[in-house]
Structure 1
Amino acid sequence: MRLTGLIAVLLLIAGCSRATVEAPEPSPTGPSAPSISSAPPSPTPSSSKPSKPSAPPAAGAAIADVIAWIEAGRPADPAGYHKATREGEVTDLIDDVAFTVPAGSRRATTCMTDSESTDSALACVVDLVNPPPQPEDIYGQWKGGWIDYGGNTLRVGSAHGDPGRFLHGDGAELPDGSSLSFGDYRCRADRVGLFCVNYAHRSAVLLRPEGIGTFGCLHPVPPPADAAKLFSCAS
C-alpha cells in the first residue's frame, strides 16, 4: 500500500510540472529592433590650409610671415632666368640666375648669382634714393646701392672698378607678384620692393629704392672698411 501511495504522489507532481511556457505577446507596434539611423555619419572636419597673406610684411615682421608672403607669389620658371643681355648680346649663364625687378620711376633693381663667388651667392644693384656715401678710405667707383646677400650676411655699398658679375648685362624681368626659386634662395617681386629669403639661414631682405630692410637673424654690426653697412647672423 505504501508503495502504491508513493507512486500516486509522484504521478501527481509530474502532472503539475507540465505547465506551458508561453512567449510574451508582441507589443501593438511590432517587435522591437535595434535602432539604426538612416542619416550618414557627420564627416570629420579636415584641417583647413592657412590663408595666404593679404599684405606684404612690415618692418620687424617675423621671418615665418616673410617666408609665407614670398611663397604665396606665383612660381616663375627658373629656366627663363639663366641668361643675361647686354647691348643685344645674350649670354648663357649656365647654372647662375639673373633677373630684374621694376622700380617705378627709378631704374630697375638687377640681381645675379655667382656660383664661383666665396663672399656672396646673390648680388643686387638697387637704385637707392639715399645711397650711403663713399667711405673716406675707399678708392675707385663707389656703388652705394650694390648689395651682397650671402644668407648669413648682408653688405650694403661696395667699390667696383668694373661691372663684376654684371659684365654680361641684366636678366629677364621678374613680374610683379611672381617668385623665383634658386639654390637656398627664393625671391618675390612686389610693388613694395623685392623680398628674398635664404632658407639655409632663415634670413630675409627687402630691397627697394627707399631703403634696405632685414628680417630674421640679420642684425647690424660694424662694417668692414670696404662697405657702408653690414648685417650679420653671427652673435
Structure 2
Amino acid sequence: MTALTTPSSSASTPPTTTARPTTGTPPGTARPPAAGAPIGDLIGWIEAGTPAEASAYRTATRGGVATDLGDDVAFTGPSGTPNCMTDRRFDGALACLVDLADPPAEAPDTYGQWKGGWVDFPGRGVDIGSSHGDPGRFGSGLGPELPAGRSLTFGDYGCRVDGSDVYCVDYADRTGVRFAATGIEGFGCLRRAAPPEGIGDHLSC
C-alpha cells in the first residue's frame, strides 16, 4: 500500500503518489477496532501495518509440493488458521477456512461435504458454512504465514493479522470482516441476514 506523500516546495520533488485513501485509525494504533466501528477505522488500522509483498504469497504448499497460483494470493494466520485464498475463477474473491469454535449447522438439502468453517467474502456479502464436492481452491494447500502486524494488499482487498485473528477489507465495497475462531464479524454495511439456500450463516449489505 503506497502511503500518501506531501510535496515540498522544492522543484526537484517528484509528483505526489496517491493510493487508496486512508481514514480513521491513525498509524501506530496497536489494537484493531471493535465490531461496529466505522469501516474507515478498520481500513486505517490495516494500512498502519508493515506492508508485506504480495509476490511472496503467490504459492500454496501441500505435502511439500508448492503450487504457483499465478495472480491469486494465499496466506495463513500465525496459528495456521484461517487459511485464506483468492480464486480468479470467481473474480478474485477471497475465501478463508476458519477453525470456528461454533460453526453453523449444515444447511438443509445440501450435497457434498459440509464445511462449516468455509467463509466466502466477495465484498457485499459473507457466506459462512457451505457444502463442497471437492477442496476447490484449497486443494493446493496452505499459503505462507502472514505475521502479526504485517498488512497485505491484493486486488480489492487489504488484510492484517492481530494475534490469531485476521481482518480484511474490500476497498471497492468498503466492507470488512474479522475472521476468528470465536466467530465471523462484519464491518461497514454488513449485517446478519437470512442465509441463501445451502449456506449456514450470512452477512449482507
1:185 paired residue number: 157
Alignment of 1:80-95 (within 5 A): 80-95=56-71
1:153 maps to a residue whose letter is G
Q: 1:109 to 1:192 in 2, by over 3 A?
A: closer
Tell me the CA shift for residue 140 of structure 1. 2.1
Report % sequence identity.
53
1:213 paired residue number: 185
Alignment of 1:37-76 (within 5 A): 50-76=26-52
CA distance in 2, matches of 1:212, 1:51: 25
**Contiguous gaps of at least 5 residues in structure 1:** 1-49
1:214 maps to a residue whose letter is G
TM-score (norm: length of structure 2): 0.84
1:79 paired residue number: 55
Aligned-residue RMSD, C-alpha = 1.4
Which of these two proteins has the greater Rg computed from alpha carbons?
A: 1
CA distance in 1, matches of 2:49, 2:152: 9
176, 199, 202: which one aligns with 2:171: 199
Q: Extract structure 1 runs of 4+ deviating beyond 6 A.
A: none
Tell me the CA shift for residue 151 of structure 1. 0.8
Q: Secondary structure at the match of 1:70?
A: helix
Tell me the CA shift for residue 108 of structure 1. 2.0
Q: 1:99 to 1:51 in 2, by over 3 A?
A: closer
String of CA shifts for 1:90-136, please: whole Å, max 9, x gaps: 11111000001123xxx521000001115x70010000001111123
TM-score (norm: length of structure 1): 0.73
Which region of structure 1 is more displaced relative to structure 2, 179-188 or 134-143? 134-143
Q: Secondary structure at the match of 1:159?
A: strand
Tell me the CA shift for residue 54 of structure 1. 3.2
CA distance in 1, matches of 2:164, 2:170: 19
Does the 8 A contact of 1:52 with 1:68 survive in 2?
Answer: no
**Contiguous gaps of at least 5 residues in structure 2:** 1-25
Q: 1:61 to 1:223 in 2, by over 3 A?
A: same
Does the 8 A contact of 1:56 with 1:192 survive in 2?
Answer: no
Tell me the CA shift for residue 217 of structure 1. 1.1
Q: 1:226 to 1:129 in 2, by over 3 A?
A: same
Tell me the CA shift for residue 224 of structure 1. 1.1
2:201 maps to a residue whose letter is K
Q: 1:87 to 1:61 in 2, by over 3 A?
A: same
Q: 1:170 to 1:117 in 2, by over 3 A?
A: same
